[in-house]
Amino acid sequence: MAKEPVRVLVTGAAGQIGYALVPMIARGVMLGPDQPVILHMLDIPPAAEALNGVKMELVDAAFPLLKGVVATTDVVEACTGVSIAVMVGGFPRKEGMERKDVMSKNVAIYKSQASALGSYAAANCKVLVVANPANTNALILKEFAPSISEKNITCLTRLDHNRALGQVSERLNVPVSDVKNVIIWGNHSSTQYPDVNHATVKTPAGEKPVRELVANDEWLHGEFITTVQQRGAAIIKARKLSSALSAASSACDHIRDWVLGTPEGCIERKHSLLIFSSVGTLQGTWVSMGVYSDGSYNVPAGLIYSFPVTCCNGVWTIVQGLPIDDLSRKKLDLTAEELTEEKALAYSCLS
Ligand SMILES: NC(=O)c1ccc[n+]([C@@H]2O[C@H](COP(=O)([O-])OP(=O)(O)OC[C@H]3O[C@@H](n4cnc5c(N)ncnc54)[C@H](O)[C@@H]3O)[C@@H](O)[C@H]2O)c1
């Protein structure tokens, strides 16, 4: 029997990530090839005409899974009945603007959109914040949508995770699908910590640690980290526009793994003690997601912080028990400090 359509909200849908993202959702890349969808697209009045153009193109593409399109500048109409909300809309930093001014604009946007989602979205709606500052926008959304469980509010660091996989794959000249378990810790900003200490590569002789195969700590501690941290700026320099197709694709990866599960995500939960008892024999696959910190790995509770997670039955769980060396500890703390400052700045914009 055909499945009931799922309503998926994309805010900022007339923008460049939106333009790459909505056809992916309509093709089943996000929720699977047998899951019909109804797209809800929100943008602001100056972008209403462009938004209508995107709607016309979606109709023209005749996607079999797409059962309806709502294109609107009304936040209540946009949020009504949605089970997935991908928050791409936000206020960009313009030349000459202070950090606090941009924060203040985004705090106002995320506060009002939180209320609309809290009141009108479907029960158990899953929220992914993409717009920057992504972690802090997600935190504001959590604060002002108390009816949405904190387990259902996340931000995107999967793009950084995928960038780290891509760098290892290029360095070792192996398929990216054979590399797994990199971690992005912390903020979606240049203080994030891309960590390969637990990452492995599939080889004919079994899974081998990335660190052993690369055999070059200088590269792993230096260029690898800075390349991932500064990849967004490198794309802007090359394209004169910020990342869009990779951001859209990783947003689909984030929601797909959250809803449909990470590989072996359910088995791992049942046998987590067994699997994590001996480092080097980790069996499962984890991904990086910005989630509400419960204090795991001594990260301050109450921040939206990127952790390694596995997902089963629509629920993410932070991977526990990974050993953290001294260098990593410093980097985990540095990015937490930045998030704590961002949180204080965001709260100062509320008063
Ligand atoms: N987390 C990540 O990995 C990641 C990666 C890339 C980009 N980003 C961020 O994603 C955001 C979108 O990027 P883009 O390249 O699509 O930008 P864009 O400027 O092309 O599009 C943004 C869209 O949001 C709309 N918008 C502005 N205020 C809105 C509001 N209140 N409600 C609804 N829509 C609103 C704009 O009209 C515009 O159409 C930016 O904040 C960018 O920094 C995050």
Residue 225 Cα to ligand 1 middle (Å): 25
Ligand 1 neighbour 131 (Cβ under 6 A): yes
Helix or strand or coil: residue 33? coil
If one residue of 86, 103, 132 were mutated to test the ligand 1 pocket, choosing by the most ligand atoms within 8 A of its CB, it would be 132
Q: Which residues are annotated as a binding site for NAD(+)?
A: 12-18, 43, 106, 130-132
**pLDDT at site 273:** 44
Q: Which atom belonging to ligand 1 lies closest to the Cα atom of 112? A: 31
pTM, two decimal places = 0.96
Ligand 1 neighbour 314 (Cβ under 6 A): no
Ligand 1 neighbour 73 (Cβ under 6 A): no
Tokens 């260029």 found at: 223
Residue 131 Cα to ligand 1 middle (Å): 5
Residue 310 Cα to ligand 1 middle (Å): 27
**pLDDT at site 281:** 43
Ligand 1 neighbour 109 (Cβ under 6 A): yes
Instruction: Please give the Cα distance from 92 to 236 (Å, whole number).
Output: 14
Where along the chain do its domains lie? 6-155, 158-339
Query: Who contacts 207 (Cβ-Cβ below 8 Å, separation ≥6)?
Result: 200, 201
Residue 14 near residue 55 (C-beta atoms within 8 A) = no
Quick one: fold of 6-155? Rossmann fold (3.40.50)
Nearest CA, atom 10, ligand 1: 131
Count helices and strands (H / E) in the chain: 14, 14
Residues labelled as active-site residues: 188
Write out the chain's pLDDT in tens, 351 residues. Answer: 789 999 999 999 999 999 999 999 999 999 999 999 999 999 999 999 999 999 999 999 999 999 999 999 999 999 999 999 999 999 988 777 887 888 999 999 999 999 999 999 999 999 999 999 999 999 999 999 999 999 999 999 999 999 999 999 999 999 999 999 999 999 999 999 999 999 999 999 999 999 999 999 999 999 999 999 999 999 999 999 999 999 999 999 999 999 999 998 887 555 554 444 344 445 589 999 999 999 999 999 999 999 999 999 999 999 999 999 999 999 999 999 999 999 999 999 987
Token pair of 183 as six digits: 């971690």
Give the Cβ contact number of residue 169 at 10 Å: 16
Residue 18 Cα to ligand 1 middle (Å): 8
Q: What angle do CA 192, 20, 15 make, to 5 degrees?
A: 80
**pLDDT at site 283:** 58
**pLDDT at site 207:** 95
**pLDDT at site 274:** 43
Nearest CA, atom 8, ligand 1: 131
Assigned CATH for 158-339: 3.90.110.10
**pLDDT at site 122:** 98
